[in-house]
Amino acid sequence: DTAVSQTPKYLVTQMGNDKSIKCEQNLGHDTMYWYKQDSKKFLKIMFSYNNKELIINETVPNRFSPKSPDKAHLNLHINSLELGDSAVYFCASTRGLHNSPLHFGNGTRLTVT
Amino acid sequence: AQKITQTQPGMFVQEKEAVTLDCTYDTSDPSYGLFWYKQPSSGEMIFLIYQGSYDQQNATEGRYSLNFQKARKSANLVISASQLGDSAMYFCAMCFSGGYNKLIFGAGTRLAVHP
């Protein structure tokens, strides 16, 4: 009964490749997020969707493109991968738009070689 | 601009003792929420406790309590009766009105519980 599930858990790829990370939540939440955790463990928001509509788009290279086919899914596609993209990417979801705790997936560890 | 500061990169505590993890924040927004998350070595992010800016009482959840001092803009996490399984990274985070529940995280504190 995983609440927020991400696939794959690990992703190793070469520079220049294109890859996708998928996220699904079965909590009935309206809002989903992508966060990036760097090697120093710092967490930074990248994107957020509310009912399939993009509501947060932080300063992220346009090689990163989120897609939300429905409110239970939020995928992240990355083009032309670079070494600096290596990180753990977390998907999260929440109900509502204010003061609600985020429920995180288990993360996808992306390694670019 | 909103900011969260955790000044303790690492802390250690003896098993069964209490420990306080510090968190200060900066915002001019009167309505905001404060959260603590735990990240064990396995990597998942676990929600622990929440405090709203208008809440009169300090939040508590089992062995976790939040020492909320609004005037000082601090939201310290207190873990009572520490257990070995409490060893993890702990993150303080904040959201603010109009921010679409975007959480801004502190740098984290690594807690080690010693037997």
For A19-66, what is each residue's pLDDT tens digit? Answer: 999 999 999 999 999 999 999 999 999 999 998 899 888 878 999 999
Residue A97 has pLDDT above 70, yes or no: no
Dig out the tokens for A54 from the structure.
Answer: 């993009």
Averaged pLDDT of chain A:
93
* Per-residue model confidence (pLDDT) at position B93: 96
Q: B74-79 and A73-78: which strand pairing?
A: unpaired
The alpha carbon of residue A28 is apart from the nearest alpha carbon of chain B, in Å, by 16
Residues 6+ apart with CB under 8 A from A11: A19, A21, A108, A109, A110, A111
Indicate whether B98 pLDDT > 80.
no
CB contact under 8 Å between B102 and A100, yes or no, is no
Q: What is the band of B1 on the pLDDT scale with cuts at 50, 70, 90?
A: confident
Q: Classify residue A102 by its DSSP letter.
A: P
Question: In this complex, which of B31, B45, B101 lies closest to A90 when CB atoms are compared?
Answer: B45
CA distance A91 to chain B (A): 10
Tokens of A64: 């990163």
